[in-house]
Amino acid sequence: MEIRQFRPKDLDRIIEIERSSFKDPYSRTTFYSFYREYPDTFWVYEKDEKIIGYVMFTTEGHIINIAVDPAYRYKRIGTELMKSVISRVTGERVWLEVRESNIAAQRFYYKLGFRKRMIIPKYYGQEDAYILVLEK
């Protein structure tokens, strides 16, 4: 197992995981844009030379996106990614947006110590977002 920085050759696998994880997946262009802007904070989780998860974040503490291949969920991969991020960020808090309907993700974040701080109406089109925050 290894958590390492994203490489452009990883993109096809990242897109597969993204599409199997979200109903409104990020585009290839979005991933490249993030990589160009934040190359040091786009990480992949690799096991046996296969990428099975990834996380994108800022050093200030904003989790932009995290996903794990559905076949590997509930094996603490997301937890390992998040703990690595939490230890790396420079700010005193870590925060993210999550869909109101994504109960599984909310439970995951609450177990890590995140708390709901705000609701943003219609952030995801017709769906509200919760802003979750973890104080370090």
Residues noted as catalytic: 97, 109
* CB distance 21 to 41 below 8 Å: no
Lookup result for tokens 């995290």:
66
Using CA atoms, how far residue 86 sits from 57, 93, 94, 119, 130, in Å, is: 10, 8, 7, 23, 19
What is the tally of helices (H) and strands (E) in the chain? Answer: 4, 7
Sheet containing strand 115-124, edge to edge, reads 2-5, 42-47, 50-57, 62-68, 93-99, 127-135, 115-124
